[in-house]
Amino acid sequence: MLDDFIWRATLAGILVAMAAAPLGCFVVWRRMAYFGDATAHAAILGVALALMMNISILAGVLAVALLMASCVSLLSGRGVAMDTLLGVMAHSALAIGLVAVSFLSGIRVDLNAYLFGDILAVGKQDLGLIAGGTILVLSLMAWRWSALLTATMSEELAHASGIQPRREQLVLTVALAIVVAVALKVVGALLIAAMLIIPAATARPLSRSPEGMALIAGGVATVAVAAGLKSAYVFDTPTGPTIVSVAALMFVLSSLLSWSYQWVRQ
């Protein structure tokens, strides 16, 4: 029988997968990959500030992730190319966070756990926080799904339908910050964006509707977590990177399947 920590790790990974799947679809549709990366990298700065102020790591990461995402949203379209802005902010936040951590005296910080995740160390309290974050993200996505889709397809159509694109952008910003905060323990700051993007990109050629893509992405992410944990246990490899590697393999298989289908139809 598997140990309790394996069950906790599996459940935590599945919960993160469920939260990341629908949000990752919007990240792919809106071409916001760098946006997710910048928010995730800011998590390290949140960890440093939380340790300095002696507050909850989750609270610190959530606050900085929200601040980063809000700054990016406000600064976009103001004379600086979006990819340039996101690149500057992502790497700056990560660098400042790593420097800030080095100034913490008397506090032992396992940077690898925050950079690449430490899913096997998830405790009952962590599991409760991850579950709460997942429920909140899924509730936000379900509540604003139709409006988010409309705003994603066309801002003009959104305005005509009485929907404010900026408000929907704010919903995505809040959801992304929550996912970053709860996923930090599972896959780490450097791999969070991968878990957002890869399952959604894998599901894209296999789906015929937005809802179908979100469901398939959730399935892909869940399989990646389960298979990644099993592979890491068998081959004694880092758990977070192994989960992302399995997701990447599934993306390759999905792409090959899509190309083969198109070739057969020609």
C-alpha dist (Å) from residue 104 to 1, 53, 131: 41, 11, 30
Query: Using 50, 70 and 90 to split pLDDT, how confident is the model at 203?
Result: very high
* Number of structural domains the chain divides into: 1
* CA 53 remoteness from chain centre: 25
**Would 245 be classed as within a structural domain?**
no
Is 21 domain-assigned? yes
User: Residue 111 above 80 pLDDT?
Assistant: no
Domain with residue 137: its CATH number is 1.10.3470.10
3-state helix, strand, coil split of the chain in percent (to 5) is: 85, 0, 15
Q: Looking at residue 1, what is its pLDDT?
A: 42
Q: Is residue 75 part of a domain?
A: yes
Does residue 14 belong to any structural domain of this protein?
Answer: yes
How much is the pTM? 0.88
62 domain residue, yes or no: yes
pLDDT of 78 strictly over 70 = no
Q: Which residues constitute the domain of residue 174?
A: 4-190
**pLDDT 10s digits, 45-55:** 888 888 888 88
Q: Is residue 95 part of a domain?
A: yes
Residue 198 has pLDDT above 70, yes or no: yes
Q: What's the chain's average pLDDT?
A: 86
In which band, very low, low, confident or very high, does the pLDDT at 157 lie, cut at 50, 70 and 90? confident
**Domain contains 51:** yes
Q: Is residue 50 part of a domain?
A: yes
Alpha-carbon span 78 to 254, nearest angstrom:
38
pLDDT value at 79 more than 60? no
